[in-house]
């Protein structure tokens, strides 16, 4: 799958819920999930949201430390969060740049497991919590650079424009 890069407007689209009861549609979602996992791993990523590959449904894959494997969350929703931590983040859709972003340290997430069809409710902390928040933002059309203050955002825009001018990042 092609990973869309900033400033592609499709990254600002909000994803739609997945109908877990539609068996024909779920066959498509299973294929999408497999392709997303392969794309994420082939790009050395730890998370990939559907909107990053132009798919408008609420699903993302990530390499979970807690589950010790790549898992796919459909229709994820944070129901509780606690604590704060500021750490470095990067994104497959914003190559060549990283920044420190404040996120919750602990999150409770309701989600649908496409492999079993079960609705789940799990707690995630540390890196898993950060990745989940990052990928959920993607599903809502939000990029991690949107969490930067005005000065850091201007610095990002200048650096990113320079990388594009050098041909190191595609222009849209």
Domains of the chain, each with CATH number or no CATH = 9-165 (3.90.45.10)
For residues 159 and 97, the answer to whether their CB atoms sit within 8 Å is: yes
135 in catalytic set:
yes
- Helical residues (DSSP H) of the chain, grouped into ranges: 23-42, 126-139, 150-165
In the predicted structure, residue 147 carries a pLDDT above the cut 80: yes
Does the structure show a pLDDT above 90 at 170?
no
Contact assessment for residue 109 and residue 158, using Cβ atoms and an 8 Å cutoff: no
From the list 68, 84, 135, 157, the catalytic residue is 135
Mean confidence (pLDDT) of the chain: 95
Residue 60 predicted with pLDDT over 90: yes
- Which pLDDT band, with edges at 50, 70 and 90, does 128 fall under? very high
67: left (phi over 0), alpha (psi -120 to 50) or beta: alpha
Tens-digit pLDDT profile for residues 71-97: 999 999 999 999 999 999 999 999 988
Quote the pLDDT of residue 172. Answer: 60
pLDDT band at 117 (very low <50, low <70, confident <90, very high): very high
Both tokens of 38, joined, read 């392969």
């Amino acid at each position: 799958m092609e990973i869309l890069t900033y400033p592609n407007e499709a990254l600002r689209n909000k994803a739609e819920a997945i109908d877990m009861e539609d068996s024909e549609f779920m066959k498509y979602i299973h294929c999408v999930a497999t392709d997303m996992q392969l794309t994420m791993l082939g790009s050395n990523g730890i998370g990939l949201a559907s909107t990053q590959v132009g798919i408008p449904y609420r699903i993302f894959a990530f390499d979970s430390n807690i589950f010790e494997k790549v898992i796919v969350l459909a229709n994820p929703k944070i129901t509780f969060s606690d604590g704060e931590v500021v750490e470095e983040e990067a994104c497959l859709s914003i190559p060549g740049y990283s920044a420190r972003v404040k996120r919750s340290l602990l999150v409770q997430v309701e989600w649908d497991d496409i492999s079993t069809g079960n609705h789940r409710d799990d707690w995630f902390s540390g890196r898993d919590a950060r990745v989940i928040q990052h990928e959920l933002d993607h599903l809502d059309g939000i990029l991690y650079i949107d969490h930067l203050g005005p000065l850091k955002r201007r610095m990002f825009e200048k650096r990113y424009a320079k990388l594009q001018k050098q041909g190191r990042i595609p222009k849209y």
